Amino acid sequence: MKHKNSPAAGTPAADKPAEVTAREQQPAAWQCIIDLPSERGISRLVTEPLLEHLGAHGWPPADIFSIHLAAEEAIVNAIVHGNKLDPNKKVHVECLISAELARVEITDEGAGFDPKAVPDCTSEERWEVPSGRGVMLMRTFMTRLEYNAKGNSVLMEKRRD
């Protein structure tokens, strides 16, 4: 059962144990909706504020690393493989960060792909192939990873342990 964050309605913070106070003083959930141009290196427009708000919501560094990695991989995939760096196509990103949940949804304007058709990068004959690890990393480092039927949109979630 997840602990739901509730405001300390009228209770003086000084009366609370330090840990509870820290938890209750978490800022409200942060939401971000942005359309990125299909350019290399543009992912930081999302990842920089994302990291900042994960920190502000008290996520531990290891989880922040995981979410950063998954978001980076997904945005690069959308720009390079989805939109094929087409300057006329955008990557639509929606983020929701609270103390318990990090959700990132990334949609490109490409033809989509079948994530099940990506070869297993951990099979021995593919160990030395220099690409094809992004989706696997996203799946490993997030709690939930789902593609839409077309395969041009991915929804990722990480829940705080």
Partner 1 sequence: MATYRRIDVSKLGEVSVVKFVDKKILEEAGIQELGAELFGLVELENRKTILLNFSGVEFLSSAALGKLITLDRKVKANKGRLKMSNIRPEIFEVFQVTKLNKVFDIRGEESEAIAAFTA
Q: Which of 4, 10, 117, 122 binds partner 1 (CB under 8 A)?
A: 122
**Separation of first and last alpha carbons in the chain:** 10
Which residue, 19 or 128, is less far from partner 1 as judged by CB? 128
Q: Whose CA is closest to 35, among 135, 106, 138, 84?
A: 106
Which residue, 1 or 62, is less far from partner 1 as judged by CB? 62
Residue 143 engages partner 1 in binding (rule: CB under 8 A): no
Q: Which of 11, 25, 31, 140 binds partner 1 (CB under 8 A)?
A: 140
Residue 83 engages partner 1 in binding (rule: CB under 8 A): no
* Count of positions on this chain that bind partner 1 (CB under 8 A): 26
